[in-house]
Structure 1
Amino acid sequence: MKSWPKVALSEIAPIIRRPVEIRQDQAYPELGIRSFGRGTFHKPSLSGADVGSKRLFRIEPGDLVFSNVFAWEGAIAVASPVDTGRFGSHRFITCVVDDDRANATYIKLYLTTSQEGRAQVLQASPGGAGRNRTLGVEKMGLIPIPLPPLAEQQALVAHLDALAEKTRQVEAHLDAVERDVEHLLALRFRDAIADVPLLPMAKVAPLVRREQSIDLNGSYPELGIRSFGKGTFHKPPLSGGEVGTKRLYRIEPGDLLFSNVFAWEGAIAVAQPEDTGRFGSHRFITCQANPELTTAEFLRYYFLTDDGMLKIGEASPGGAGRNRTLGLEKLMAIEVPTPPLAVQQTFDRLQTEVAALKAKHTAIREANAALLPATLERIFSAGATAHA
């Protein structure tokens, strides 16, 4: 196994500051650094007057740049040519890498992606819990960097760039496939509801309430509904004492659920078998599809279309922002398309197939996202040694 010597960061990438003299009549476009090693971004320009007494420092392409408050969560980047002419505040630590000994991208990958590198940055960022941590300049300079020969660093970066490009291609392909299947669903749904009768919700999926009696010694796991049609999620259980005078209602698989405060932004779902035994507060509207007229999944899809969301919005009066509440009577009065039950069931089977496809894509995306970090971890753990 190869072994790589470790060299202090300050030896191969010393801090360089390029202070700027602020002029009132000039503009100063700032640079930002995304966390988790995701590169730089461009902030709006500040006028000299906006800068005021704030200190700015010029950033050059190739600089290894740290956010001193977010470095511990991977806000470390290499400035690229598109960042030319940008500036950073005193909270940016800018290092210039010795090109004869090290590759800036290699160092950035080690510090943001490898377990050992992230731990070193965290250790150099003392502070309290959460985000109240600041990277210390002296401690940062002492971080040991495993340093293979420069040619090996460059080859490693080139290999990882190629791997990253492959993962981007996979993501793009999955996105394209999902856009196609969503378009297919929309076309099939359009055909399914063409020239069909409209019936009120009160008839096709009336409100159902299953109020739960509360035992002070009982446990009541609640259900939540994600906005934008993203399904249900599980909340921690409440004890009977925590429920207090709050009213809870039992939810059954197959129920069509609406959050009365967020339905207008798509907090609409169908309870699944894994939601059995969960409860919703009075803010949950629970409807039960009439099995002779409709299916809950068909209705869910309809309400998440533009036409369905428009009707939900009209039934959710209130002020701007999130201060809107779906009215029970208004919901029950909404007229929904009711094609023959067999047509709805055929469409639901297609929805199930699409959901299964997306689940497979999710697993691929998770494996894809883990590939680069796993490769880096394997490389660094195999090549680094403890000696300087």
Structure 2
Amino acid sequence: MTAWPLVQLGDICIPANRYTTPTPGEAYRQLGVRLWGEGAYEREQIDGADTKYANFNRIEADDLVVNKIWARNGAVAVATQGQAGTYVSTEFPTFVLDQDRIDPRWMRLITKWRGFWSACDEKAQGTSGKNRIKPGQFLSIEIPLPPLREQQAIAARLEGLAEKTRQVETHLDAVERDAEHLLALRFRDVIADAPLRPMVEVAPAVRRPVEIDISTRYREVGARSFGKGMFTKPDFDGAEATWQKPVWIKAGDLVLSNIKAWEGAIAIAGNEHEDCIASHRYITCVPEPTTATAGFLAYYLLSDEGLEKVGSASPGTADRNRTLSLTNLGKIKVPMPPVATQEAFDRLKTEIAALKAKHTAIREANAALLSATLERVLA
């Protein structure tokens, strides 16, 4: 990086004082600011009668907007053209950039820079525990400021790089949608004429009670909602256990939360979950190997049709009271094509999962590339 001069923000921007008193019956578009330099976003509208603030500040394009509380976590943004006409409360100090000295695109890059986040965090340190940054503290932060034309040239190059990565991600998204569509079509075909059999016959529930030993360390697992898979909690000593009747988990188990299965808390235990434990709230089903596979069953139960059956088997009106009993689970009828057909479907599903994993790695590399390039420019 060229040894660019450091300039205080207070030298290149001034407060944007476009205050208005909220009027009851009038709708106001609200603006929020994401963490870690991810920009501003438009929130839901609010009626002037529903705010506790005496004043709103109107936002214009290229305003620099700061979230007092979360500036320490990079919640600073430059408003876009489409966000002009939104409003913020007094918790969001707003400034007008001197565009004869700083290009708004350069300031956007600054908001994505770790060095800037660190400066905001340092200025926000306080004794109240809330660590709000005061406008004066924010304006004392120094940023590198090359000549205007150099700012514009660097911003254009980095925007070009960002656009290329967006194009790559758009392509990856399209490929994944096509793959999921192919999987859904394949599943539709294999269950079209398959007989329906109750869960109790093809994958009965198996409970493996755990006798907690206070001298033993355990690892607890659970199933995320919406088909997001298993999660693992940190190890803990048996003496710290606060719940009763936990169960052992084995690799290959079909694991269901008896209180959240209706919203997709259904997953397959992997090798990494072998010999972990789960609370008594979890049901473990073991597919009959000559009849069913866990992967096929999980895909069906997480489908719209499967979740409807699971929901019907989980009576109750409130979230915490919608409990899936072993009896009701056992009665759910699932399509059972030949096990060889299920295994072929599982292989296709595994291939698509591997494809998604590769795509995730590409996305992470893209994000790292942008971050590293910005650090090289600004560090």
> Structure 1-normalised TM-score?
0.92
Over 3 Å counting, the alpha-carbon distance change for 1:52 and 1:235 in structure 2 is: closer
Contact preservation (8 Å) 2:78, 2:107: no
- For residue 176 of structure 1, report the CA deviation from its aligned partner: 1.0
Q: Distance in 2 between matches of 1:263 and 1:129?
A: 42
Task: Work out which of the residue numbers 260, 274, 285 in structure 2 matches 1:262.
Answer: 260
Q: Which runs of 5+ in 1 are unaligned?
A: 382-388
Cα offset, 1:68, TM superposition? 1.6
Pair 1:86–1:335, CA change in 2 (3 A): closer
Pair 232,245 (structure 1): closer, same or farther in 2 beyond 3 Å: closer
Partner of 2:287: 289
Query: Residue in 2 aligned with 1:117?
Result: 116
In structure 1, what is the Cα distance between the partners aligned to 2:46 and 2:64?
Answer: 23
Q: Are 2:21 and 2:54, in contact at CA under 8 Å, matched by a contact in 1?
A: no
- State which drifts further: 307-316 or 167-176: 167-176
1:91: Cα distance to partner?
1.6
Aligned to 1:70: 70
C-alpha deviation, 1:30, in angstroms: 3.0
Question: RMSD of the TM alignment (CA)?
Answer: 2.0
Structure 1 SS opposite 2:88: strand
* Residues 172 and 322 (structure 1), Cα distance of their counterparts in 2 relative to 1, 3 Å cut: farther
Give the deviation of 1:6 after TM superposition.
0.5
Which of 307, 310, 319 pairs up with 1:309? 307
Structure 2 letter corresponding to 1:123: E
The question of 1:163 aligning with 2:127 is answered: no
Secondary structure of 2:362 counterpart: helix
Change (3 A) 1:355 1:129: farther
1:211-259 superposed Cα distances (whole Å, 9 cap, x missing partner): 1222111112111111111211111223221226611211111111111
CA deviation map 1:103-154 (0-9, x unaligned): 12312321x3222111111111123698x22111221111111111111101
Corresponding residue for residue 140 of structure 1: 138
Distance 1:214 1:21 in 2: 62
- Structure 2 counterparts to residues 1-388 of structure 1, below 5 A: 2-20=2-20, 26-50=26-50, 54-110=54-110, 112-127=111-126, 132-243=130-241, 246-381=244-379
**Aligned residue pairs, count:** 379
Equivalent-residue separation in structure 1 for 2:305 and 2:373 (angstroms): 47
**Quick one: structure 1 residues 254 and 129, their matched pair in 2 at CA, closer, same or farther if it must change by over 3 Å?**
farther
Question: Residues 74 and 335 of structure 1: is their aligned pair in 2 closer, same or farther, counting only changes over 3 Å?
Answer: same
Report the counterpart of residue 384 of structure 1 in structure 2. Answer: none
Distance 2:145 2:320 in 1: 53
**Residues 156 and 258 of structure 1: is their aligned pair in 2 closer, same or farther, counting only changes over 3 Å?**
same
The sequence identity of aligned pairs, in percent, is 50
Structure of higher RCO (CA pairs closer than 8 Å, 6+ residues apart): 1
- C-alpha contact (below 8 Å) 1:107/1:145 kept by paired residues: no
